Structure 1
Amino acid sequence: MTDIVPPLEIIPISLGFVNAYLVKQEGIILIDTGIPGSALKIFDIMKENGINFQDLSLIILTHGHQDHAGSVSAIRERTTAPVLSHVNTAELLQKGVQGELQPCSMTGHLLKFFFSMKKHSAFPPFKPDILIDAPYNLSSYGISGMVIPTPGHAKGSVSVALDSGERFTGDLIFPKIPSGKPGFPFWADEPDKILSSIRTIADDNATVFYPGHGGPFMRKDVLELINHV
């Protein structure tokens, strides 16, 4: 007799130019939290989908930049769900700063000044509950999948890989301008690791990629990106 896998539901949350995601299975996780001030929008989406504060089992931060971690403190105040991040993200989170952006493209150089301004880079400081530096199983939170370190964009970047094939990649993959197709990030702390991280997450089981901006992307389009380097 085989175990029956509970149905999976993915609820994208558009927070202006950045995406957060709710993933429902036996448990419910939130992936990323948007800029400061995004908590009410996330709470509204939870309410629309019949999710109470106490239903949330885990909050995952793909990395510590303001547009992904900016509202984690406000959300954590209303829920008992622990917050997970990579150990290399913890110091920045506790200081409430995203650190210096390292451009790896012309677009990154052009936008660095704007996104390095204090109002676009600082956020309420927060101490995460769970720190990882290796793959982390989500089964105890009611989700069939893993959190996987995927350095490149930031030293503490992680992605979420569901057993059913969905991938949540934070800023490991950026939409190209103006096509919107999968591309490499504008900024990278460890640019030499981007390609290997994408290849890790674009394994044979991967089907669709949910990035922090734009998307979603199909596996064939991500493979086209990394196979033409």
Structure 2
Amino acid sequence: MANSKRLAQALQAVEQTKQYEANEAFELIKQIAFAKFDETVEVAARLGVDSKKQDQQVRGAVVLPHGTGKTARVLVFAKGDKAKEAEAAGADFVGDDDLIQRINQGWFDFDVVVATPDMMGSVGRLGRVLGPKGLMPNPKTGTVTFDVARAISEIKAGKIEYRLDKAGIIHAPVGKVSFDTEQLVGNFRALIDALQKAKPASAKGQYFKSVTISSTMGPGVRVNVQRLASSSAE
């Protein structure tokens, strides 16, 4: 009951029809957050693309300049020297067939999966279990690479992946409520810039249909889309 009361108060603080400037929006998100834990701040960007068309998919990765507020647990599929390189770079788990077997048995104590290209023949068999969780390595997000040290370094520094869902929306975290407003805005702009650069050539009309930010438990706050589009234009 206490949470629903706090949510009602938070909802009252948000003008539903207003599109806030980014700084103002993140200030408000921080003010109305009420959970007893450090909530994640997430962006939901509705894009003017057709998610059913293959040439209008939006997918990629971006390193948030101020990190995500948590250190990702990185699993690397590699052999020989590349396995040693991954261990030296700070990977949490490194292996090949042994890890494939563990995952097939239901183990998922990791956040990001990296694989060297020569391992993808074996890792591909995990598609049915890793795919639905968004954990399958992909060249587009830099997680299929021989440069495992760089991949691990970027992920640990705050690299996130983004992917268009069936409703044409990108959901991505940009930090924690405990972050300074400037840090949240900096991460937010890095994400928006990455989405702008990932705009499909075949997409017509308004690209950013709506952009809403929210904390884990809090209500959504809409951000000025026109200002975003002009500040992120090429």
Q: Taking structure 2 as the reference length, what is the TM-score of the superposition?
A: 0.28
More helix by share: 2
Question: TM-score, with normalisation over the residues of structure 1?
Answer: 0.29
The structure where strand makes up a greater share of residues is: 1
Relative contact order higher in (CA < 8 Å, ≥ 6 apart): 2
Indicate the structure (1 or 2) with the bigger Cα radius of gyration: 2
